[in-house]
Structure 1
Amino acid sequence: MINRNLFNAAVGLVGSLFINVAMAADFALSSPSIKPGTTLTTDQVFNGFGCTGNNISPELLWTNAPQGTKSYALTVYDPDAPTGSGWWHWVVYNIPASANKIAAGAGTVDGKNLPAGSAQGRTDFGSTGFGGACPPVGDKPHRYIFTLHALSTEKLEIPEGATAALIGYMINANRIDQTSFTAYYGR
């Protein structure tokens, strides 16, 4: 015979687990100026290499950090670049866990408008800071993947002048979770 109190406690526990799972929100990255699956605007297009854009980094917002997040890193990557290894457009790391956004235009070389303590890595344009979209003329539209990584460490120890690949290695070694969206651009 089933103990009614034990049965009721078990039903209550299972019910509360379902409610907690249903109420748990996912780690999410968004931008007021870039909707997932849309085409980047002139603001996010590089100014150089034959492209004539404004080269302004977009505002990025995130919510529901995973438990244990001690810092974040942001990458913007084009896997369609005809290089054999894609193209790194922006790498930001050591973003404090207390941050929940990056302001529009913060991706300047000096990074002065990034959250305090953040650092930028060298992109495939050869410098730090945001480098906008600039695919070759005639290519199908390229994918630009904006990814925010929640990290288990407060600070990545990155040597001066490190490549995006080395920074990516350090990000992957310390990642708890990630969230991303993709936008497109072709010319």
Structure 2
Amino acid sequence: MSLDRAVAPDPYDILPAVPSFTVTSTDVVDGQPMDDLFAHPSVGGKNLSPQLSWSGFPDETRGFVVTCFDPDAPTGSGFWHWTVVNLPRSVTELDRGVDPLPGGAFCVRNDYGESVYGGAAPPPGDRTHRYVFAVHAIDVDQLEVGAQASPAYVGFNLAFHTLARATIRPTYQVSG
């Protein structure tokens, strides 16, 4: 069963443009399928966040926010898998399955309702989904959001504090 619907836009294609920098991973590759390690247990995955590292961000960067969003989820509003808030400027890498988060950073609730990384879990047989991992370089030490904030509220605050953004877009599909 494949859901017949239009391809959702990439969320960063419709927001105001900001400069970019580089994000890399030893675990995921832009445009390539992710391993089951990074998928949700509901589809047989291990629910580990992938390793990410970044460089080339603006000198005035004071902190980072890391997000993972699936624009292809059949919800009408996509699906937030991970939102890591208030990483210090000194943190330029997250290890695979990072726990605890470094430097006082924290996760807000994902769309599974948990304050952790929630792996990929498209409906079985649905088309390939894109998972947009983004590192946002911000102009403040911390966003003024609490642990109960929604990812959308974090995104709203990022609109006013993002200096630059780096993205990597692996994919995932559950065979049906």
TM-score relative to the length of structure 2:
0.85
Assess if the C-alpha contact under 8 Å between 2:139 and 2:161 holds in 1: yes
1:85-119 Cα shifts (integer Å, max 9, x gaps): 0000000010000111001111xxxx41x221211
What CA RMSD, in Å, does the superposition of the two structures yield over aligned residues? Answer: 1.1
RCO comparison, higher one (Cα < 8 Å, 6+): 2
Aligned to 1:30: 24
Instruction: Choose from 42, 45, 63 the match for 1:53.
Output: 45
Which of 53, 75, 87 is matched with 1:95 structurally?
A: 87
- Cα deviation, residue 67, structure 1: 2.1
TM-score by length of 1: 0.80
- Contact 2:71–2:78 (CA under 8 A) maintained in structure 1: yes
Partner SS for 1:116: helix
How far apart, CA to CA, are the structure 2 residues paired with 1:180 and 1:86? 17
Instruction: Provide the identity percentage.
Output: 35
Secondary structure of 1:82 counterpart? coil
Q: Which has the larger radius of gyration?
A: 1
Instruction: Judge which range, 82-91 or 163-172, deviates more.
Output: 163-172
5+ long unaligned stretches in structure 2: 1-19
Distance (Å, rounded) in 2 between the aligned partners of 1:160 and 1:74: 14
Higher helix share: 1
Q: Residue 159 of structure 1: CA displacement?
A: 2.8
Determine the structure 1 residue equivalent to 2:119: 132
Q: Confirm or deny that 1:145 pairs with 2:139.
A: no
Aligned length: 155
Compute the displacement of 1:160 (Å): 3.6
Counterpart position of 1:123: 110
| Per-residue deviation, residues 50-82 of structure 1 (Å, max 9, x unmatched) | x11000111110011212100000010000001
Which aligned segments of 4 or more residues in structure 1 are displaced greater than 6 angstroms? none
